[in-house]
Protein backbone atom coordinates (compact mmCIF):
# COMPACT_ATOMS: atom_id res chain seq x y z
CA UNK A 1 0.00 0.00 0.00
CA UNK A 2 0.98 3.65 -0.28
CA UNK A 3 1.37 4.02 3.46
CA UNK A 4 3.62 1.03 3.70
CA UNK A 5 5.76 2.43 0.90
CA UNK A 6 6.10 5.66 2.76
CA UNK A 7 7.06 3.96 6.00
CA UNK A 8 9.57 2.00 4.04
CA UNK A 9 11.26 5.06 2.64
CA UNK A 10 11.37 6.70 6.01
CA UNK A 11 13.39 3.97 7.52
CA UNK A 12 15.70 3.25 4.67
CA UNK A 13 18.74 5.30 3.83
CA UNK A 14 20.06 4.78 0.32
CA UNK A 15 23.80 4.80 -0.16
CA UNK A 16 23.69 6.34 -3.65
CA UNK A 17 25.92 4.76 -6.21
CA UNK A 18 27.22 2.14 -3.78
CA UNK A 19 24.80 -0.75 -3.93
CA UNK A 20 25.64 -3.35 -1.30
CA UNK A 21 24.45 -6.24 -3.44
CA UNK A 22 25.36 -6.81 -7.06
CA UNK A 23 24.27 -9.43 -9.56
CA UNK A 24 26.96 -10.76 -11.86
CA UNK A 25 26.07 -10.54 -15.53
CA UNK A 26 24.81 -13.83 -16.86
CA UNK A 27 23.68 -15.43 -20.11
CA UNK A 28 20.69 -17.09 -18.57
CA UNK A 29 19.69 -16.94 -14.90
CA UNK A 30 20.07 -20.13 -12.89
CA UNK A 31 17.04 -21.50 -11.06
CA UNK A 32 18.30 -19.99 -7.80
CA UNK A 33 18.88 -16.59 -9.32
CA UNK A 34 15.47 -16.65 -10.92
CA UNK A 35 13.92 -17.66 -7.60
CA UNK A 36 15.11 -14.38 -6.09
CA UNK A 37 12.56 -12.52 -8.18
CA UNK A 38 9.91 -14.35 -6.15
CA UNK A 39 11.40 -14.89 -2.71
CA UNK A 40 13.01 -11.56 -1.86
CA UNK A 41 10.66 -10.04 0.73
CA UNK A 42 11.54 -6.54 -0.41
CA UNK A 43 11.05 -7.38 -4.10
CA UNK A 44 14.47 -6.06 -4.96
CA UNK A 45 15.05 -8.51 -7.81
CA UNK A 46 13.43 -8.43 -11.20
CA UNK A 47 13.74 -10.18 -14.51
CA UNK A 48 14.33 -7.77 -17.37
CA UNK A 49 13.01 -8.17 -20.89
CA UNK A 50 16.55 -9.15 -21.87
CA UNK A 51 16.38 -12.11 -19.51
CA UNK A 52 18.77 -10.68 -16.92
CA UNK A 53 17.97 -10.81 -13.24
CA UNK A 54 18.73 -7.36 -11.86
CA UNK A 55 18.70 -5.94 -8.38
CA UNK A 56 17.72 -2.59 -7.01
CA UNK A 57 19.08 -2.91 -3.52
CA UNK A 58 17.16 0.05 -2.10
CA UNK A 59 14.74 -1.27 0.47
CA UNK A 60 16.70 -4.46 1.11
CA UNK A 61 15.92 -5.74 4.59
CA UNK A 62 19.20 -7.63 4.87
CA UNK A 63 17.30 -10.84 5.45
CA UNK A 64 20.09 -12.84 3.81
CA UNK A 65 17.88 -15.02 1.62
CA UNK A 66 19.59 -14.06 -1.61
CA UNK A 67 22.97 -14.44 0.05
CA UNK A 68 22.15 -18.01 1.02
CA UNK A 69 20.86 -18.87 -2.44
CA UNK A 70 23.38 -17.16 -4.70
CA UNK A 71 26.51 -15.94 -2.97
CA UNK A 72 28.52 -19.15 -2.83
CA UNK A 73 27.97 -19.73 -6.55
CA UNK A 74 29.31 -16.26 -7.27
CA UNK A 75 26.10 -15.17 -8.93
CA UNK A 76 25.76 -12.27 -6.56
CA UNK A 77 28.14 -10.24 -4.45
CA UNK A 78 26.70 -9.52 -1.04
CA UNK A 79 27.90 -7.07 1.60
CA UNK A 80 26.25 -5.30 4.45
CA UNK A 81 25.62 -1.64 3.69
CA UNK A 82 28.19 0.80 5.05
CA UNK A 83 27.55 1.96 8.58
CA UNK A 84 24.63 4.35 8.78
CA UNK A 85 23.09 3.20 5.53
CA UNK A 86 20.53 0.60 4.65
CA UNK A 87 17.58 -0.51 6.66
CA UNK A 88 17.10 1.18 10.00
CA UNK A 89 15.47 -1.29 12.31
CA UNK A 90 14.92 1.17 15.13
CA UNK A 91 12.47 3.86 14.27
CA UNK A 92 9.48 5.70 15.63
Rounded CA separation 77/38 (Å): 19
Radius of gyration of the chain (CA): 13
Residue (10 or 45) nearer to ligand SF4, CB: 45
Q: Which chain residues interact with ligand SF4 by CB under 6 A? A: 21, 40-42, 44, 60-66
Task: Find out whether 66 and 36 touch, Cβ atoms under 8 Å.
Answer: yes
Q: How far is the CB of 55 from ligand SF4 (least distance, A)?
A: 6
Q: How far is the CB of 3 from ligand SF4 (least distance, A)?
A: 20
Residue (27 or 66) nearer to ligand SF4, CB: 66
Rounded CA separation 64/80 (Å): 10
Amino acid sequence: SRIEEKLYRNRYLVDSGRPHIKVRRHQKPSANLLALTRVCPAQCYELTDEGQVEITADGCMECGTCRILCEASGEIEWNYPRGGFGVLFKFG
